[in-house]
Structure 1
């Protein structure tokens, strides 16, 4: 069999370069979930050489010294499960495939919590969270860009709150992924797009979730993009209990998406209330209002005057009824009966106290002749005293032996 001459012949180096370019164009930057294998820390050069593997495959990985200082904001260990971002590369001199690591974070809440604290301390030392670096939020913004997930609950909450508050705001929606491996790049891109619109304020928002769900808002790339932004940013990520690094670096942090919408509207609402109060005060001082007040007072007085005779008649009638009842209880017959009763009572008391009644029951009054008063004791009488004894039906004389 005779083979035809090939149209084009490549060298090994050029073929590998073609494969390298194809990988970069077709695959590009990807995220891998893998285990750190043969991870021993930095080489003498400062670069990191290790492997990434799962149950079915393994690949060499390289983390260059310049990127390692930014990437390794947690304590990476051999055997740790990680999420890494990077690009595949072919080293033509050895014909080997490697994965160039551009970002890496641990999997699991424990590792993420450690990474969160390490990155937080790093950025804190750099001064990214200092209040002096935060931009003032306009009291009455006109143009607002909302960065949030398309069709998300956070987006619905924000729009419904703004509609209910009715603040005069021009709202622009800039949708982005808010969770997953590609979310951080999407969020940074959305922030750049929002900045080009030159709004008065940017509202960055998503609903609540676990530490893993919210991790994109803890990525150093996004945090630094927020810190570098020259437009005020309000962070409204998660619920009350959630705190992200974006919350700390933003110019203002709201506890919920709804609270964020209320905050950017609050200045307008306060101004509108002030205008309403001023309007009421001006109305109160206007001649028309004064005339209306006088009319109201006149109508009230007129009503009272119309009612006054009826009220007086009712009061007089009530007084007459009270007088009539008083006369019924204090007429001549009643007074006479009361006096007769008192007389009978006095007669009874006098009858009881009458000495004649006592004598009739066998008692006697004894006195010494020629002396006043009656004897109360036998010792008061002396021998030979002549006594006068008063009985009920007469008296008799006696001599003391």
Structure 2
């Protein structure tokens, strides 16, 4: 590529970078009339902003839809806040809107946003504070204007669905400077009546017409109300602070009546169905209990208490007789066994006595045979030295020493005069 010649992509990228570095274009507010507005299936909104002499393409992505509190339509005068950037592929620039307000209503919208954020931070929108809507409400209070389409729609739909539900209307002001006090008073009054449910709301209108339901006092009255509250303000696209605080939001007053009043005909059908089901269940239970009763009657006849008692008495008598016979038989047997054991024990004792006597005689004879006294009885004696040690060898004594001789009937003290060994040669060797 020749010097100084650029591709289309390079040019578009360069221009895109210029837009991106421009501080004014990165945060800009553009006022104009909406045209060619299209809601894409992806959630993005494509439209054109124009004035008397010019126009600019614009888009609001689905991720920024929370910055839109109303339905964008042809011919609306709006102010779009966002950035102007280049769409590089097509080489065109467009407004990427992040917030959109209607012309002349910017202050109210900012006030709405500020109050909504404050109440949300306080937790007044938290799900844990939402009270459940009763499924079968019998008494419903309504805070709205006494004239207008809202109350007529609620009455008509309630009467059609369930003419037995009682409706209590508090005719409140729903527009103007005194509307917020009137709505708060209506909520407090009906809350003290102990009703099942409250509906607050009105028909559609501009943001100024609906502003009473964006007041903080109204929001707090709803939050502190003990009775469950359905908020039904304006049309489906209209969103107010009361919708966030209420226990349930209905897109329209008619929808609120549909949610609040249960369908009596449908209830009757469900009741009839439940009754039929319950009757079938009861019939089956009765039949089952009847069958069980018959079975119990048969068992009662078979297990007649009188017959059972007679049988028990007979069995008891038989057991007593068997026990008596067993005791007598056991006693006689025990006596016989005791006599036999006594006889056997006596025999064993006598035999053991004879054996022990023989053993004793044997031990006596052995003891007498080994007795020193018996041995010295035939002329033998037992000699000891001065220290009473037995003299077993001539080597233990010397001439002149005293010795003692014990014979059969006494002892003799003597003095050694001479020692004569049995073998003189051994004596000399010993000396």
**Fold match (TM-score > 0.5):** no
> TM-score, normalization: structure 1?
0.42
Name which one, 1 or 2, has greater alpha-carbon Rg: 2
